[in-house]
Amino acid sequence: MKLSCQIPAVLESIISRKIIAATAQEMGIRVEPSELQHAADQIRLANRLQKAEHTWHWLQKHHLSLDDFEELAQAN
């Protein structure tokens, strides 16, 4: 990551997500289960994950847990 000069962009993204999450929590904004499901479906569609086994393989490939996937969907 360092050699590809992506560290500033990654740090900015992390900080932005933390600020948004903190602000949403302060304001009492919550993600509805149907919205979370829609976001997860969009992630699967964007990555051509048509079956559950494809999703599990993708999660393993990217070293993500199911909780990580839920957090990813919530951030989107």
**Co-location of 74 and 46 in the same domain:** yes
**Co-location of 43 and 73 in the same domain:** yes
pLDDT band at 1; cut points 50, 70, 90: low
Nearest-angstrom CA–CA distance, 52 and 57: 9
**Co-location of 3 and 38 in the same domain:** no
**Co-location of 13 and 50 in the same domain:** no
Q: Which two tokens stand for residue 66?
A: 């199911």
**Co-location of 14 and 44 in the same domain:** no
Nearest-angstrom CA–CA distance, 62 and 49: 14
Nearest-angstrom CA–CA distance, 28 and 25: 5
pLDDT in tens, 38-74: 999 999 999 999 999 999 999 999 999 999 999 999 8
**Co-location of 50 and 66 in the same domain:** yes
pLDDT in tens, 14-27: 899 899 889 999 99
**Co-location of 39 and 64 in the same domain:** yes
Q: Which domain holds residue 46?
A: 32-76
Q: Provide the number of structural domains found in the chain.
A: 2
Helices (H), the chain: 7-26, 33-46, 52-61, 66-75
